[in-house]
């Protein structure tokens, strides 16, 4: 029975067409979107066109092998990587894990074993991306913390500070979440009084000095 599409995309990379076809058919029946590649260069083309959440990667690819590709993928992303190995490839499995692979499965691939590994890894990848996205939206200034996505301001004790209406933050940089060091003007209500103040804010991400380069101070509505 065809499952509901999950929206998660998996790339199957193996030079054996029968393995690609088998894994593609099985994973598609579980609701995943699948792209297949016979080698590293083909995977590069796939990833330039579409975002991929997880790669099932044969360790013994022609040209750039699975170990080299694992190291390259991990150096530039947090994509999920499951190595497909031979039963006797113990040393290569260890190297693959050291190079950044998340898991491995031996040939012949048991679909009943593969599916929970895929599900668990996609769950971890999703949680990691959510945590990174959440961290990128946080600005700390003085004893306050502002979540620019949810528009919630909290004090040092973790209490929510009600914001006045209209509420705005003025930053001398092009993007709140990319600001490294910038001046913040915020109006909020605390202990029954409306308070306006000015702090130097440091975000959880760095943009390499966008505040110093900016000549304008846009107003970001929260």
Contact 187, 216 (CB under 8 A): no
Enclosing H/E stretch for 24: helix 17-29
How do 80-85 and 33-37 pair as beta strands?
A: unpaired
What's the pLDDT score for residue 5? 56
Contact 9, 15 (CB under 8 A): no
Instruction: Locate the domains of the chain by residue range.
Output: 9-133, 138-221
Write out the chain's pLDDT in tens, 222 residues.
445 456 899 999 999 999 999 999 999 999 999 999 999 999 999 999 988 999 999 999 999 999 999 999 999 888 999 999 987 888 999 999 999 999 999 999 999 999 999 999 999 887 666 555 444 566 666 667 776 666 677 776 667 777 654 444 544 343 343 333 344 444 444 444 344 444 444 433 434 444 444 444 333 344
What's the pLDDT score for residue 3? 52
Listing DSSP states for 144-158 in one string gives EEEETTTTEEE-TTS
pTM confidence score? 0.60
Fold of the domain spanning 9-133: Rossmann fold (3.40.50)
What's the pLDDT score for residue 117? 95
What's the pLDDT score for residue 206? 39
185-192 LR contacts (CB < 8 Å, sep 24+)? 186/141, 186/144, 186/146, 186/153, 187/163, 188/153, 188/161, 188/162, 188/163, 188/164, 189/161, 189/162, 189/163, 189/164, 190/155, 190/161, 190/162
């Amino acid at each position: 029975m065809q499952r509901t599409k999950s929206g998660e995309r998996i790339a199957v990379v193996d030079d054996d067409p029968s393995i690609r076809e088998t894994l593609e058919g099985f994973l598609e029946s579980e609701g995943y979107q699948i792209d297949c590649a016979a080698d590293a260069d083909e995977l590069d083309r796939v990833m330039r066109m579409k975002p991929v959440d997880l790669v099932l990667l044969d360790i013994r690819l022609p040209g750039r092998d699975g170990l080299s590709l694992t190291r390259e993928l991990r150096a530039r992303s947090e994509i999920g990587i499951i190595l497909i190995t031979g039963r006797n490839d113990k040393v290569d499995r260890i190297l693959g894990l050291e190079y950044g692979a998340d898991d491995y499965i031996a040939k012949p691939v048991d679909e009943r074993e593969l599916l929970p590994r895929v599900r668990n890894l996609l769950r971890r990848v999703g949680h990691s991306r959510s945590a990174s996205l959440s961290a990128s939206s946080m600005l700390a200034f003085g004893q306050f913390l502002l979540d620019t996505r949810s528009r919630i301001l909290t004090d040092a004790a973790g209490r929510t500070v009600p914001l006045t209406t209209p509420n705005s933050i003025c930053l001398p940089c092009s993007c709140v979440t990319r600001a490294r060091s910038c001046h913040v003007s915020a109006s909020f209500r605390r202990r029954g009084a409306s308070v306006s103040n000015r702090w130097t804010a440091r975000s959880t991400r760095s943009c390499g000095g966008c505040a110093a380069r900016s000549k304008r101070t846009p107003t970001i509505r929260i």
